[in-house]
Amino acid sequence: MSMEWQGKVAVVTGAGGTLCSVIAAFLAEKGMKVVLIGRTKEKLEKTAAVIQSKGGVCRIECADVNDVAALTDIANRVAAEWGPCRILVNGAGGNNINAMTTNTAYNPVEITSDKPEDMRGFFDLDMDVFANVLKTNTVGTVIPCQIFGKQMVVAGGGSILNFASMNTYRPLSRVSAYAMSKAAIANFTQWLAAYLAPANIRVNAVAPGFFVNERSIKYLRTPDGGLSQRGENVMQHTPMKRFGEAPDLLGCVEWLLDDEKAAFVTGITVPVDGGFLSSTGI
């Protein structure tokens, strides 16, 4: 990353997560002052401990990315004490098991009176839960872009990195709400890139392949550490024959955020997936 980012402010939402905790630490190692935003203080404290152990500068700010008032307050305080945000990484998001079907395709049993209690088909999905997944992953990206993006405009430029997914390209089975939301992220990234180009703000996205975290490990691995059926299916479509690890994202993230190396790059979504999108598994 170019030296011009030394001492500048980076905001990372979802900074307590498996991927964004590593990204936040990476930005701090590069000399940036990193604002760690998330809902769970304990997770943010772990990220902060890693950063501080290496001499980095960070601060913990607990908030929900859908809370306009809370994020506005954070932005104002950070600007007053550290200066304007110049890098924004929108890593907050997630899924909800109750917004997922238990079956991968329609089963006539799901609309009968003797449907198994543990079966949840498309027609059983709770629309409040479904809508909340959409809101967290879409509006929860838009709001930080508004609030911290405005600081970038005033400061004369910056870079925004959104988080897409393999679902951006192919809707994976069972996760209709999550897939819909991640498809929207790529579209919004393009729209915002075009809109903010006159303000010297670049907007891009990264689309991680299958990285094991607290949520996905339940579906990709068995309790003994082996592969679940879903995990085996993923491997059949992944030429590199492994799951991603957080450091695998850093080269792409650094490039997309660097105003020198990626000076003419905006509005793109880059897959980091071990070849998943390139393979049919046949």
pLDDT (0 to 100) of residue 90: 98
Domain that holds residue 250: 3-278
* Domain count within the chain: 1
82 and 28 Cβ atoms separated by less than 8 Å = no
Given 169, 178, 195, 219, the catalytic residue:
178
> pLDDT tens-digit profile of 45-101?
999 999 999 999 999 999 999 999 999 999 999 999 999 999 999 999 999 999 999
The pLDDT of residue 3 is: 61
For 62-82, give one letter per residue: b (16+ CB within 10 A) or e. Answer: ebbbbeeebbbebbeebbeeb
Q: Is 61 exposed, middle or buried (0-12, 13-18, 19+ CB in 10 A)?
A: buried
- Predicted confidence at residue 199, as pLDDT, reads 98
The predicted structure's pLDDT at residue 221:
83
**pLDDT tens for each residue of 201-229:** 999 999 999 998 777 777 788 888 788 88
**Identity of residue 75:** A
Confidence of residue 275 (pLDDT cuts 50, 70, 90): very high
pLDDT over 80 at 278, yes or no: yes
Is 106 assigned a catalytic role? Answer: no
d(CA 25, CA 48): 8
Asked if 187 and 181 count as a contact pair (C-beta separation under 8 A), the reply is: no
Q: Is the pLDDT of residue 1 over 80?
A: no
Domain CATH code at residue 235: 3.40.50.720
The residues facing 208 across adjacent strands are: 272
How many whole angstroms separate alpha carbon 110 and alpha carbon 97?
17
Residues 6+ apart with CB under 8 A from 204: 159, 160, 161, 162, 189, 193, 256, 262, 265, 266, 267, 268, 269, 270
Comparing 7-11, 150-154, 219-223, which segment has the lowest mean pLDDT? 219-223
Residue 202 φ/ψ, nearest 5 degrees: -95, 140
Q: What is the largest CA-CA distance in the chain?
A: 65
Task: Indicate the pTM of the whole model.
Answer: 0.95
Q: Is residue 50 within 8 Å of 34, Cβ to Cβ?
A: no
User: CB of 182 within 8 A of CB of 168?
Assistant: yes
